[in-house]
Amino acid sequence: MKIFKSLASGFCRTLKAWKGILLIWFGSLLMVSLVALPLKGFLKSGLDSSMITERLHDGLDIEVLGDLGSVFKGMMASLPAGLLLLLLFGILLNAFLSGGIFDSLKGSASKFSGNEFFSACARNFWPFLVISLIIGAIILVLFFLVLILPISIVTQSDSGSGTSVFLIVKISAAIFLFLAIIFILVADYARAWQAANDRSDCFRAIGFGFTRTFGKLLSSFPMMLILVAITMLFTSLVLSLIGRWTPDSGGGVFLLFIISQLLFFVKSGLKVWRYGSVTALKEINDVREQKLEIVVNPIIEV
């Protein structure tokens, strides 16, 4: 019951914070443009003066890349720097905007205000950045230890068959997904705690995240599993739709861009729904713990 109450409350809070989701979408669009626009310039300079654009009419032709010559080499040389810039900017932007969106999702939050949103973004930026870096580093280490390392050992083993490798991949992926969901919960609880407190204390927030995650795992994990399943299902549907759509005109390309951005807006909304649900569950458990303290304290005094 507590799970579905938190999901419903998180959904209502997400609808209330739709302007914050719009800011997240716009920031992500600018972030992707850092790589997309230079890439578009490379392709345009390499394709405009040739006849190979006709070979792209029915989809991507890998041989086209070979015809780009020095343009392709320059594009590949600048790609790692662009991806690194995209990663760094993405981490900073996520820490900044998450601080505002978590503040907007609190039960005590009033009507969405741009001034309050950006004030919370600035106030929570550093603790949210530290929380993201620490939990992200833990998940990255788990990725190598739980997923990459076992698969590497099995594939390099002479006795490893295709069936055993596939089984190890499935088991390792399931274990990693389970652990990743738990640590994402830790991060969300930590950020929800930090957003509810004026004092910046990222390490105390992380401590709260671990305590609340493992203390309320029976309610937190199923709720998170539902949200992750919905997000994965939506992502697979989006990839299937975008992958099958091959526009053959300028209007078709523009329509594809509009629809893809609308879908990305919905995906951002699903992430904020997760934030709101975790925040709602935290507040429900906070109230129950406060009531328990009120009941227990007089008994202890007696």
- pLDDT, position 50: 47
DSSP one-letter string for the chain: -HHHHHHHHHHHHHHHTHHHHHHHHHHHHHHHHHHHHHHHHHHHHHHTTSSGGGGGTTS--THHHHHTTHHHHHHHHHHHHHHHHHHHHHHHHHHHHHHHHHHHTSTT--S--HHHHHHHHHHHHHHHHHHHHHHHHHHHHHIIIIIIHHHHHHHHSTT--HHHHHHHHHHHHHHHHHHHHHHHHHHHHHHHHHHH-SS--HHHHHHHHHHHHHHTHHHHHHHHHHHHHHHHHHHHHHHHHHHH----SHHHHHHHHHHHHHHHHHHHHHHHHHHHHHHHHHHHHHHHHHHHHHHHHHHHH-
- The first and second tokens of residue 124, run together, are 């929570």
Question: Taking 80 as the threshold, does the pLDDT of residue 296 lie above it?
Answer: no
- pLDDT, position 86: 83
**Cβ pair 222, 238 in contact under 8 A:** no
pTM: 0.86
What band does 80 get if pLDDT is binned at 50, 70 and 90? confident
What band does 298 get if pLDDT is binned at 50, 70 and 90? low
CB atoms under 10 Å from CB of 91, counted, come to 14
**Cβ pair 133, 91 in contact under 8 A:** yes
19-41: average pLDDT: 81
Residue range 146-171, pLDDT digits in tens: 999 988 888 877 565 667 778 888 99
| Number of domains the chain contains | 1
DSSP one-letter string for 1-34: -HHHHHHHHHHHHHHHTHHHHHHHHHHHHHHHHH
Range of lowest pLDDT (22-31, 58-67, 274-283): 58-67
- pLDDT, position 159: 60
**What domain range is 257 assigned to?**
2-301
- pLDDT, position 173: 93
In Å, how far from its chain's centre is CA 15?
18
**Cβ pair 102, 279 in contact under 8 A:** yes
3-state secondary structure 269-298: HHHHHHHHHHHHHHHHHHHHHHHHHHHHHH
The C-alpha atoms of residue 128 and residue 189 are separated, in whole angstroms, by: 11
192 or 254, which is more confident:
192
The C-alpha atoms of residue 81 and residue 250 are separated, in whole angstroms, by: 30
Question: Taking 70 as the threshold, does the pLDDT of residue 75 lie above it?
Answer: no
- pLDDT, position 70: 55
- pLDDT, position 77: 61
Question: Taking 80 as the threshold, does the pLDDT of residue 290 lie above it?
Answer: no
Question: Taking 50 as the threshold, does the pLDDT of residue 282 lie above it?
Answer: yes
- pLDDT, position 7: 96
Question: Taking 60 as the threshold, does the pLDDT of residue 188 lie above it?
Answer: yes
Residue range 234-247, pLDDT digits in tens: 999 888 887 777 76
- pLDDT, position 60: 47
- pLDDT, position 169: 87
- pLDDT, position 51: 47
